[in-house]
Each structure stands twice: as C-alpha cells, then as structure tokens.
Amino acid sequence: MVFKKVRLIGRSNESFEGAVDDAVSRAEETLENLMWVSVENQAVELDQAEREYQAEVEVAFELAEGIGE
C-alpha cells in the first residue's frame, strides 16, 4: 500500500471542531480512500466583525494500485 498526505485548512465562524469538520468534509468530497486525519495547528483570525476559527489538518489517503509504485 502507498499513501499520500495533503494539508488542508478548514474554517468556521463557530469553533475549532467546525473548522476540522470543514476540512474533513472537503477532503471526503474530493479524495478517495481517506485513511486518517491529523490536526496539525489551530488558529483564530480576528476580524472587526467576527472571529474565524481555522484548523490546519493533514489527511492521508491510499493511492490506487499502480500509482506511486
């Protein structure tokens, strides 16, 4: 098996959990064979109107056979 990792940044106006869910949902929409997710970093962007929670995650997925081998 061969895996590939990519980093994504999810965003939410409500919570860090929402930001992680945002990133994972996007990964599930665009990548196949997701295996695990690791939260690497969390931050809050301060704006005059509202805060934006951000979560940087690393997702790993298995490459299809024949790719990367």
Q: For 6-54, what is each residue's pLDDT tens digit?
A: 999 999 999 999 999 999 999 999 999 999 999 999 999 988 788 999 9
CA 27, 32, 34, 40 torsion-angle sign: negative
Contact 40, 58 (CB under 8 A): yes
Q: How confident is the model at residue 64 (pLDDT cuts 50, 70, 90)?
A: confident
Domain boundaries, the chain: 3-62
3-62: in CATH 3.30.1660.10 = yes
For residues 63 and 4, what is the distance between their CA atoms, to the nearest angstrom? 7
| pLDDT at residue 65, as a whole number | 75
Provide the pLDDT for residue 66: 64
